[in-house]
Structure 1
Amino acid sequence: MKDTSPPQPLPLSTPGRNLMRLTLVRGITWTGFLGGIIFGLEVVNFQLNVLAVFSVIMGMALINLLTWWRLSWPRPVADIEYLLHLLADVIGLTLLFYFTGGANNPFISYFLVPLTISAATLPWRFTWIIAGFILLAYPLLMLFHHPVPQLMQMEHDSRFNLHILGMWANFVLSTTLITVFVYKMAQSLRKRDADLSDTRERALRDEQIMAVATQAAGTAHELGTPLSTMAVMLKELSNEHADNAELAADLALLRRQVDTCKVTLQSLVSNADRSRLLNPESKPIKTFLRDVLEHWEVLRPDVRYCIDWPDESKTEPWIPDDITLQQALINLLNNAADASREPVMIMVEWGRQVAQIEIHDQGPGIPMDIAERLGQTFISTKSKGLGLGLFLTHATINRLGGTVRLYNHSQGGTLTEVRIPVLSPSLKSASRENRTS
């Protein structure tokens, strides 16, 4: 049966949810202000500019209605838009207090509410903008306001003036404390939530990697016998057709490919050793990359590439000699070679802490929505790909403390940027000791 129910709206972003809550708070607050003003007019006989006061309240009511309408849009609410709504509240409060006694209004401390909301939900610089507006409005309301006689009966009493000044000093102190400490506490909560989200994402990714690793181990065991059989048969065929130069060359290529597969399977087993995982070996980056490129040429003899090394005067760093890192780089090189028939451009650069490898192809580029999600799950840049290679590439390089990012190059094609932390001198010496022992 076909579902005829209306489509569900997309969930609001965090600023959108905050704006919805702000709209509710605004509606309740200004309804309370309206009730208080009516009470003051009817019971206490406040002498107010009724038209101006009700114009301010109706203006805020109109803003609230427009905000509810805005929340129905599909476009997400940005932080800057949320800031503008809080500024509208501050301006509305300033106008209301101006027409109702200024700093003598007992509700003047309500200025702290939009400030607290800003400190809990907005970035640091936006919170200081709100604080600046409020700290400017308060002293201006002390000097300029529409007097309300019922609130000014003690205006000429010096003790009352001291009381007003004390209220202002307390307000400045409260504003500063809220701006600094509430923001810091809210920032800690946001960071904790972000860390928990990252932890859940890593746990899910580790589960996927473990599933792939378990299947890979079984597959490696199954491939051992067929590869050995192929190696024996290729050797016999080479001996039988030694007089056929063209066939002998093809058989030699096949033997190298089979030997490469056998070495890869052996490396898979040896690198799973716990002692090697805890004490990884390392190599100078040039030696490591030359080994990677040599291995890649065996796998892809048809590829062409051009590599640009840094200035020879720069001290060459060491990086982990990890078989999974080699496989990750080869996967990225394969993607670049598959994207275009033009030579793959490889640029290498390094500093004291990070080595950077850039791989530039001349292909059609990559949609940015896909580039941002690569590595999070099995997403492929190829029409028939499963996305497993890029997923494992991201997982491997992230495990080593590095990052992988894909960009659309300004001159066309895709630019893949790999950043890998270089090893400290102590780890280099430990690696040398492991090799000699």
Structure 2
Amino acid sequence: MSTAKPKMPGQTEARNNAASPQPVQSGLDRLDDATGLKNMLQLIQLRWIAVIGQLATIAIVQFGFGIQLPLDPMLKVLGGLVLFNVISLLRWRTQRKVSNSEMFFALLVDVAMLTAQLYLSGGATNPFTFLYLLQVALGAVLLQAWSVWAMVAITTACLVGVAIFGKPLALPLDLENGFSSPHMQGILVCFVLNAALLVTFITRISRNLRERDARLASLRQRAAEEEHIVRMGLLASGAAHELGTPLSTLAVILGDWQRMPPFTADPELQQEIGEMQAQVLRCKTIVSGILLSAGEARGESLTRTSICTFLDDLAEEWRSTRSVASFSYENGVLQDLPMVSDSALKQMIGNVLDNALEASPGWVGLKATRDADTLTLTVTDAGPGFAPGMLAHLGKPYQSSKGRTGGGLGLFLVVNVARTLGGSVTARNRSGGGAIVTITLPLAAITLGKNERHGS
């Protein structure tokens, strides 16, 4: 019988489709958007530097070298560049997607403004014509291939245009003076400016791209892990179906044995049969929990409870079904909240407790606390603690300290269940020996909302 999977309040459909490529694709889109926005803001910052640099250059050439420039049109072009940059800054203040065409257009505006200034200040004889190379270099980093080659063609055409139509300035032909020549000094300043801007901004842009690639790799790793969980879930679901019939058969046989005279006459056998029935019942409960998590159990089997009751029942059940010498349980959740008992959450906490018990059969501790909108569960043991390599790769599959083939899936499942709920899992070793595993869960993901509390 197949019915819709009952979901915990506050959960989204992403939990039911953990291995779907959609979250990875949407994550990639968000990364591209954020990286594109950062690069556009870098370009706006570069444009402000260009404005300041042009003002300084115009002042030095006009009043320092005594070379007459067409100040009025050059300042108008500079004013247009300032206006465009202000509009760009207002447009890109809020995060949004930056397309290749928009980045291409922004670079074209810079090329147009540079071309206008060169046209008014000597054409191709102006040493600052080398700034075209800066635009091409930025385009090579920021744009798609076709746009880069388009930028090469456009800047080449602009250079040819200012060489043919540019307005020459009355400059002394003193190149034989070496660096005493204003022209040679201009070339030197242009080279230093180009080199400094290229190193500064291409380094920043490359860092943005590397950060995006690193986050994308993390998303892909997460998708692979969640797909692995789905495959294991399908395997567990199939095994649960297969185990249902033999467990029921065992329960019937044990019930018959319990009523047979040879067994009823022997109290020791009666006790052993009772223990076997309890273990079969526990197996059936585990199988039912697997089917419930796989969405193959009826939603009516979910029960409304509260955080404190859920934790108290979980601790009591775990204590009664495990051979633990000493179990310390402390419920510090002062304000109780309604929730629905969820088998995945229960199994997640049980896995951490089981791992602690295996490392420390003598003592295991569980403490629950609430901090604002967060529930924190701390599991402590007195065992040997985690190896440094385990702590460095916490939650990765097949990272086992027990040396068993295929082991290490317990914490892997714990980490991924917590992550689908919007929480996290951390681990550390105690200074006096043993380990501490901390599970942090947002209350919004596990509690009932206001509408659900009132049955609406």
TM-score range, shorter chain: 0.5 to 0.7
Separation in 2, partners of 1:198, 1:363: 32
Q: CA deviation at 1:231?
A: 0.7
Whole-angstrom CA distance in 2 between matches of 1:418 and 1:250 = 37
In structure 1, distance between residues paired with 2:333 and 2:223 = 41
For structure 2, the residue ranges without an aligned partner over 5 or more in a row are: 1-126, 142-175
Q: Which position in structure 1 is the counterpart of 2:444?
A: 423
Percent identity over the alignment is 30
Q: Which moved more, 1:206-215 or 1:335-344?
A: 206-215
- TM-score, reference length from structure 1: 0.54
Paired AA for residue 395 in structure 2: G
2:348 is the counterpart of 1:297: no
| Match in the other structure for 2:34 | none
Mapping 1:30-109, distance limit 5 Å? none
* 2:329 aligned to which of 307, 329, 352: 307
Which residue of 408, 427, 448 corresponds with 1:387? Answer: 408
Q: Distance in 2 between matches of 1:294 and 1:250?
A: 22
Alignment-derived partner of residue 271 in structure 1: 293
Partner of 2:309: 287
Shift of 1:245: 3.7
Match of 1:338 in 2: 358
Is the partner of 2:449 in helix, strand or coil?
A: helix
Letter in 2 for 1:226: P
Residue 393 of structure 1 deviates from its aligned partner by: 2.0
Q: CA deviation at 1:264?
A: 2.5
2:271 paired residue number = 249
Specify the SS of the correspondent of 2:392. helix
Find the residue that maps to 2:376 and give its secondary structure. Answer: strand
> What residue is the counterpart of 1:324 in the other structure?
344
* In structure 2, C-alpha distance between the alignment counterparts of 1:281 and 1:152, rounded to whole Å: 86
With over 3 angstroms needed to count, the CA separation of the structure-2 counterparts of 1:420 and 1:303, relative to structure 1, is: farther
Code of the residue aligned with 2:292 in structure 1: it is: S
1:239 to 1:431, Cα distance in 2 relative to 1, 3 A: farther
Query: Cα offset for 1:311?
Result: 6.8
Match of 2:427 in 1: 406
2:306·2:337 contact (CA, 8 Å) conserved in 1?
A: yes
CA contact (8 A) 2:339 2:447 kept: no
Please list every run of 5 or more consecutive structure 1 residues that lacks an aligned counterpart in the other structure: 1-105, 121-148
CA–CA distance in 2 between the matches of 1:271 and 1:329?
A: 15
- Once the two structures are TM-superposed, the CA of residue 430 in structure 1 deviates from its matched residue by 4.8
- Distance in 2 between the 1:185 and 1:414 partners? 42
Matches of 1:310 and 1:367, distance apart in 2: 30
Please tell me whether the aligned partners of residues 324 and 361 of structure 2 are also in contact (alpha carbons under 8 angstroms).
no
- The amino acid that maps onto 2:412 is F
Q: Distance in 2 between matches of 1:190 and 1:318?
A: 44
Contact 2:338/2:448, CA 8 A, preserved across alignment: no
How far, CA to CA, are the matches of 1:205 and 1:346 in structure 2?
A: 28
Residue 423 of structure 1: SS of its match in structure 2? helix
Partner SS, residue 290 of structure 1: helix
Which residue is equivalent to 1:239?
259
Compared with structure 1, are the counterparts of its residues 412 and 258 closer, same or farther at alpha carbon in structure 2 (3 Å cutoff)?
same
Q: Deviations over 1:354-385 (max 9, x none)?
A: 21111111111111112222322222122336
Deviation by residue 1:324-378 (Cα, 9 ceiling, x = unmatched): 1211111111111111232212222221232111111111111111222232222
Provide the C-alpha distance between the structure 2 equivalents of 1:188 and 1:258, rounded to a whole number of angstroms. 57
For 1:426 and 1:333, the matched residues in 2 are separated by: 22
Instruction: Find the aligned partners of 2:447 and 2:411 in 1 and give their Cα distance.
Output: 32
Task: State the one-letter code of the partner of 2:418.
Answer: I
Structure 1 letter corresponding to 2:258: S
Q: TM-score, normalised by structure 2?
A: 0.52
CA distance in 1, matches of 2:337, 2:199: 47
Deviation, structure 1 residue 183: 6.5
Paired residue type of 1:235? G
- Bigger mean CA deviation after superposition, 194-203 or 240-249: 240-249
Per-residue CA distance 1:245-294 (angstroms, 9 max, x = gap) = 443333222212211221222233233339999xx987533222222223
Q: Is the 8 A contact 1:297 1:303 kept in 2?
A: no
Aligned positions of 1:98-247 closer than 5 A? 153=180, 185-240=205-260, 241-247=263-269
Deviations 1:36-76 (A, max 9, x none): xxxxxxxxxxxxxxxxxxxxxxxxxxxxxxxxxxxxxxxxx
1:397 aligns with 2:422: no
C-alpha displacement of 1:217: 1.7
Amino acid at match of 2:441: I
RMSD: 4.2
Distance, in Å, in 2 between the alignment partners of 1:193 and 1:276 is 43
Residue identity opposite 2:293 in structure 1: N
2:424 partner letter: T
Q: Is structure 2 residue 373 aligned with structure 1 residue 360?
A: no
Q: Aligned partners of 2:451, 2:365: CA distance in 1, in Å?
A: 34
Native 8 Å contact 2:374 2:440 kept in 1:
yes
Deviation, 1:195, is 2.5
Deviations 1:410-434 (A, max 9, x none): 111111111111117994335446x
CA 1:311–1:399: 2 relative to 1, 3 Å: closer
